[in-house]
Amino acid sequence: IAHSVYVHMYTKGLICAEAPFNHNVHNERVIGGHDAKPNTWKWQISLQMDSYNDGSYYHLCGGTLIDSFFIMTAAHCILSQYRVVVGEYNLYEYEGSEQFIRVEKITVHPQWTGDLAKGNDIAIMKLANPVYNNGYVAVADLPAPEQMLPHDFICYITGWGSVPAILQVAPINVVEHSVCSQPEWWGSIALRSMVCAGGDGIISGCQGDSGGPLSCYTDGAWRVHGVVSYGPSGIANHCTTMPPLTLITSYNNNNNNNDDDDDDKPVSGKTLR
């Protein structure tokens, strides 16, 4: 992350999300919206916390599977002991598609201060065991360095929010920085390291969506351009009308590590079939 965190990419047996699926959804909202189609947004994960240290886990935040061993989420989601659930659809039912994996290591952005208004709200989690391809998971592609989305480009936010059991999906328009940084929008809070999206008063993120992906179909592949961060009140996990999103373009993974661990050999992140 930001030139000082190095992530090995290891996707053996996993499929990157290159094949398009029917994403023509209308009038859907993560808040009060519509259910996502099963087995579609396969890179979405549920970050779950054992709040009472009794083995009972509860959904806290979303996240993105970016590698067999690595999850990307929001730094403000990092609180306690976690597990990651991939292949999740219905939070309240075991459907056989889920993989429950312990988190081994957490690395937050080195410039994350805990102040959401200062940005850098991003973290990488290393899993204790690799995710395997069971047909219900896929690795998200990340954008190329400096790839920017044009104003009004339609992307999608996904998450379980604070109420739904079923994964929710909603289209959301990108708002260029010159617009969302104006005083009547976000002003100086809208940093260059953020993507602004929404602002229509209808589609938004909410509690439980933090850390989840902003997925955009560009150059023939689904690419995760953002991590849901916070709302206009500056409070994490607050239901918002225009959630800014941490800009992934500024935090591209760097594979150039000198670690000699054979299990973590860096690869391109493309499909290894």
The burial of 116, by beta-carbon neighbours within 10 Å (0-12 exposed, 13-18 middle, 19 or more buried), is given as buried
* Eight-state DSSP code of residue 177: H
Q: Helices (DSSP H) in 23-64: which residue ranges?
A: none
Q: Which residues contact 99 (CB under 8 A, 6 or more apart)?
A: 85, 86, 87, 131, 132, 134, 137
Q: Which of 68, 97, 210, 229 is catalytic?
A: 210
The burial of 104, by beta-carbon neighbours within 10 Å (0-12 exposed, 13-18 middle, 19 or more buried), is given as exposed
Q: Which of 8, 59, 76, 109 is catalytic?
A: 76
Is the separation of the CB atoms in 125 and 150 below 8 Å?
no
- Please indicate whether residue 121 is annotated as part of the active site: yes
Q: Which of 67, 68, 109, 121 is catalytic?
A: 121
- Please indicate whether residue 4 is annotated as part of the active site: no
- Please indicate whether residue 162 is annotated as part of the active site: no
Residues annotated as catalytic are: 76, 121, 210
